Amino acid sequence: MSAELDSVRGVWERLGTNDPYWAVLTQDAYHGGNDRSGFFQTGREDVRGALNLLDRHDRPYGDVAVDFGCGVGRLSFALAEHVSTVIGIDVAESMIEEATANNPFPERVRFVHHTSDTLPFADDSVDLVYSMITMQHIPPRLTLRYLLDMVRIVRPGGHLIVQLPSHMAKPAALPVSRCRAAITVLDGPARLTAGAAGYLRLSVRNDGDGPWPAGQLVNVGDHWWRDGRQVCLDDGRVGVPTLAPGETGEVSLRVHAPSQPGRYEVELDVVQESVAWWADLGSPTVRHELDVIAGDDVPAEPAAEPAAEPAAESAAEPAVTMQMHGVHHDLVISLFDQLGCTVLEAVPDESAVPWKSYIYAVQIGEYRLELT
């Protein structure tokens, strides 16, 4: 396994262990596996919408579909309502275990834990490869390899339906006079185990002189402090609701405890991504104190004082951070063309905001380029 893929595996293994449903759909309603019926209903709606792309071109779905990046089976089970056989594959064993436990179609749907940059299928062996909100978390070099291999495994005349971000447009900087927020911690843990994740429930009030519009990358984020020193500059993120001046909204922010036990403060601030943290523009922050304890839940002795030139303590192991990646739309279109495939449609979608993202419906050519 390459180092890149091992890093991706580590991210999703931990997310799949800690909170798999929220990791698939990062909405408050799905924390801790809540509202599973609603969660799986979103899969039916998403699959139906994507298959409409093939319907518009009178293209068949075929019999055998692969759900690439299947997670807990949200889309695999929905695909099984339209094709006879579904194979879900995922890099995280924790996700595969949850999907298998949920499986309502054990005779027609199976799940495979797979940790290679090539797909575990023979040439021309499946009719459809389906992938949504997966490749946006995979580095571009791996994404391109997977796209090539998807073309290899689909029979001539079969199809790919894949979602992939293209690029992120830089937001327009909000006027400084709008960049004012009052954050209140409504609920939060008094302690966290070192390296673990927790949630802070926050209210956020717009104290600026104008609205915070959608699509401008306005988020609540956090930093960690200990003994008057900032030990992590940038940890979690959660989007801020669209609020007019004076309006208040609630959000839940996932934070990640440092690896070193001790007494910490989590500082909450608003950031317009790629523009500025609002504390730097004069907006107040708020801090939440908590204890980070050793893994056996026994409070540990405080760590030694940081050196005069302190090395930043990690707010969490890198493997718990969802990364976003894209492959530019023009390159994707050109790649499929070079492989002898036909892009039936490339439809803009909203699943990777603020990235420009597309769902590609691709027909595999009868005389495609041989991949060696």
- State the pLDDT at residue 367: 62
Confidence band for 113, pLDDT divided at 50, 70 and 90: very high
- State the pLDDT at residue 370: 56
CATH number of 3-168+324-363: 3.40.50.150
Is the confidence at residue 372, as pLDDT, over 70? no
| Top-ranked range on mean pLDDT: pick from 4-8, 23-27, 54-58, 216-220 | 54-58
Question: Could you give the CA distance from residue 99 to residue 20 in angstroms, rounded to a whole number?
Answer: 10
- Token pair of 158 as six digits: 């079969």
Question: Could you give the CA distance from residue 262 to residue 303 in angstroms, rounded to a whole number?
Answer: 7
Is the confidence at residue 253, as pLDDT, over 80? yes
* pLDDT tens digits, one per residue of 36-55: 999 999 999 999 999 999 99
The CA dihedral of 260, 265, 268, 273, to the nearest 10 degrees, is: -30
Is the confidence at residue 2, as pLDDT, over 90? no
- Establish whether domains 3-168+324-363 and 176-319 are of one fold: no
- State the pLDDT at residue 28: 81
At the topology level of CATH, where does 176-319 sit? Answer: Immunoglobulin-like (2.60.40)
The CA dihedral of 210, 216, 220, 222, to the nearest 10 degrees, is: -130
**Looking at per-residue confidence, does 314 or 366 come out higher?**
366
233 SS3 class: coil
Nearest to 320 by CA among 19, 114, 1: 19
Question: Could you give the CA distance from residue 183 to residue 244 in angstroms, rounded to a whole number?
Answer: 15
Asked if 168 contacts 355 with a C-beta cutoff of 8 angstroms, the reply is yes
Gyration radius (Cα) of the chain, Å: 22
- State the pLDDT at residue 368: 55
% pLDDT > 70, the chain: 91
Is the pTM for the entire model greater than 0.85? no
Question: Could you give the CA distance from residue 138 to residue 206 in angstroms, rounded to a whole number?
Answer: 35
274 SS3 class: coil
- State the pLDDT at residue 172: 84
The CA dihedral of 329, 346, 91, 192, to the nearest 10 degrees, is: 80
Q: Which alpha helices (DSSP H) does the chain contain, by range?
A: 3-18, 20-24, 36-55, 74-79, 93-102, 140-153, 329-338
% pLDDT > 90, the chain: 74
Is the confidence at residue 305, as pLDDT, over 50? no
| Domain regions of the chain by residue span | 3-168+324-363, 176-319
Question: Could you give the CA distance from residue 119 to residue 108 in angstroms, rounded to a whole number?
Answer: 20
Reported as half-sphere exposure (CB side, CA atoms, 13 A), residue 308 has a value of: 0
- State the pLDDT at residue 168: 77
Asked if 98 contacts 72 with a C-beta cutoff of 8 angstroms, the reply is yes
Nearest to 89 by CA among 117, 63, 61: 117
